[in-house]
Amino acid sequence: MMKNGNSHKGKVLVVDDEPNALRVLSAILAEEGYHITSSDNVDKAIAIIQQVDVDAVITDLKMPGKDGMDLFEHISENYPDIPVVFLTAYGTVESAVSAMTRGAFYYFIKPPDYMNLKGILARAIEQRRLKREVESLKLRLLDEGYRHRLIGNNPEIRRIFETIESIKESLTSVLIWGETGTGKELIARALHNSSSRKERPFVAVNCAAMPKELIEAELFGYEKGAFTGAFTRRTGKFEEAAEGIIFLDEIGELELSLQAKLLRVLQEREIERLGSNKKIKVNFRLISSTNRDLKKWVSEGRFREDLFYRINVIDIKVPSLRERKDDIPLLASSFINEFCLREKKELTVSADVLRLFQEYPWPGNVRQLKNIIERAVVLSQGKVITPSALPEEFMSVRKQKTMQNTVRTLKDLEMQALRDALHVCNGNKSKACRVLGISRKAFYKRLKDLYPTEQSQTLNSDVLTEYCPMVAKQRE
């Protein structure tokens, strides 16, 4: 049975095997404004909870088959935030009190005081709502902390920490460069969050993701009627970043014409909206990033030299994950904690997985590691992340490594063939050549290739001794 009141104070599941008691309580609470779902047995109630986001449960304690205590234990184990209120006869008060010591919200003797019950129910639902809001806020704050936290003990990362500390209050332009996925925006945000400007705007613009036709309007803004579709005035990103930081991600993707306008903005500290000739003063700090070799692009005429030196007053090189593999366990641990918190899981990572992480080349850098760990946390069923939770490419890398370790190189095989031939022929070079099926000239050439320090065209006796233990024995 389901009834709706005029307003929705919350969703309540009422469970009782007595039809009349179930009908009366449901009607009273529906009239009060609660959204009511009812059940006359525990199995049906459990099925309802699995499908409906219930705010509270009111259940009879004694019922045939599974009783209210069984329902309470199921809720406590699987939905611990749902408050449970018991209805009980005089003879089962002791059980109800016992349930309250284990976390039940309240209990009433049948028939209940309905006014009092409504007050208790309202308090239970409000308490659950507040708990959810606090948990949501905590998750948001933790998520912000994880997303904006720079992690690492590698010497290169420690140098970046030191650089951030020394330049955080400066207005000087900064260029952050490194491969895609290394955390360039993270460093820009760390600069912002550690400075006195942290309460001011941080405006990020992805120059590579924005259509070329729109990026000028996005950066500088526009007036109403400046172009087709400009129905209202629009403030640009430089104005939005007033007194704060504007972060131009992948600045190398800007066209040369826009680079010239950007240079003028940096020199004059003023902008003009599209469709206007009015100059607007702007105060901001510029942080740029690139995964390109801008010096090379300058020499090729693809990036303005004057702009390059203007944005590159201080440069920060971000190492690839391949260059800081000693940080992988620390990064992995942080990402596992982040995603376990979100997924409400408790997981550790196996030593085998960490070994695979050390062997993998990480073309996508830290961003790829984070995505891989998110996938592993979601897929893992037990308490430990094992290689089975990783993409197939990780096992392919291991197989390739194994093959490299087990398959001998052609140079190794040639060296062994020369040794074997000399050994079988007791150091007789002519016989060794015939056994190998090669000319004497080819024989010496291979020896020279294998032993580049051997300069003479004749076989040095020391080299021969090393190749043929039988000759060494004869020399003794």
Domain limits, the chain = 2-130, 169-317, 321-406, 410-475
Fold adopted by 321-406: Helicase, Ruva Protein; domain 3 (1.10.8)
pLDDT band at 407 (very low <50, low <70, confident <90, very high): low
139 pLDDT above the threshold of 60: no
pLDDT band at 458 (very low <50, low <70, confident <90, very high): very low
Q: What percent of the chain has pLDDT over 70?
A: 85
Region of poorest pLDDT, from 128-132, 134-138, 430-434: 134-138
CB 271 within 8 A of CB 236: yes
Whole-number Å distance between alpha carbons of 76 and 103: 8
The backbone region for 255, taken as left when phi is positive above 0, alpha when psi lies in -120 to 50, beta otherwise, is beta
The backbone region for 108, taken as left when phi is positive above 0, alpha when psi lies in -120 to 50, beta otherwise, is beta
- For the segment 164-185, the average pLDDT, to the nearest whole number, is 94
Comparison of pLDDT for 291 and 422, the residue scoring more: 291
305 pLDDT above the threshold of 90: yes
Whole-number Å distance between alpha carbons of 1 and 411: 82
pLDDT at residue 460 in the model: 47
Q: Note the Cα 148 to chain centre separation in Å.
A: 11
Assess whether the region 169-317 and the region 321-406 belong to the same CATH fold.
Answer: no
pLDDT band at 148 (very low <50, low <70, confident <90, very high): low
Q: Return the CATH number of 169-317, one of 3.40.1410.10, 3.30.420.10, 3.40.50.10310, 3.40.50.300.
A: 3.40.50.300
Reported as a single tens digit per residue, the pLDDT across 149-162 is: 788 889 999 999 99
pLDDT at residue 414 in the model: 76
CB 470 within 8 A of CB 423: yes
Closest by Cα among 350, 410, 417 to 384: 350
469 pLDDT above the threshold of 80: no
What residues does 203 pair with on adjacent strands? 246
pLDDT at residue 426 in the model: 82
Q: Which residue has the tokens 């096992």?
A: 395
pLDDT at residue 228 in the model: 78
- For the segment 193-200, the average pLDDT, to the nearest whole number, is 89
Reported as a single tens digit per residue, the pLDDT across 325-335 is: 999 998 998 89
4 pLDDT above the threshold of 80: no
Helix (H, G, I), strand (E, B) or coil at 230: coil
State the helix-helix crossing angle for 19-32 and 114-147, rounded to 10 degrees.
60
Reported as a single tens digit per residue, the pLDDT across 206-230 is: 999 888 778 999 999 998 888 877 7
Q: How far is CA 44 from CA 14, 40, 350, in A?
A: 11, 7, 40
Q: What percent of the chain has pLDDT over 90?
A: 48
What residues does 108 pair with on adjacent strands? 87
Whole-number Å distance between alpha carbons of 219 and 212: 11
Comparison of pLDDT for 350 and 288, the residue scoring more: 288
Q: What are phi and psi of 317, to 5 degrees?
A: -90, 125
Mean pLDDT, the chain, as a whole number? Answer: 84
309 pLDDT above the threshold of 80: yes
Q: Report residue 220 as tokens.
A: 């500088």
337 pLDDT above the threshold of 70: yes
Whole-number Å distance between alpha carbons of 203 and 286: 10
pLDDT at residue 405 in the model: 53
Residue range 2-130 forms a domain whose CATH class is alpha beta
Torsion of CA 150, 155, 156, 158, to 10 degrees: 40
107 pLDDT above the threshold of 60: yes
- For the segment 234-249, the average pLDDT, to the nearest whole number, is 93
Whole-number Å distance between alpha carbons of 113 and 335: 51
**Judging by DSSP bridges, how do beta strands 202-206 and 221-222 pair with one another?**
unpaired
CB 279 within 8 A of CB 290: no
pLDDT band at 399 (very low <50, low <70, confident <90, very high): low
pLDDT at residue 428 in the model: 82
Q: What are phi and psi of 184, to 5 degrees?
A: -65, -45
State the helix-helix crossing angle for 93-101 and 68-78, rounded to 10 degrees.
10
Cβ burial, residue 382 (10 Å; 0-12/13-18/19+): exposed
Q: Which residue has the tokens 């992805």?
A: 206
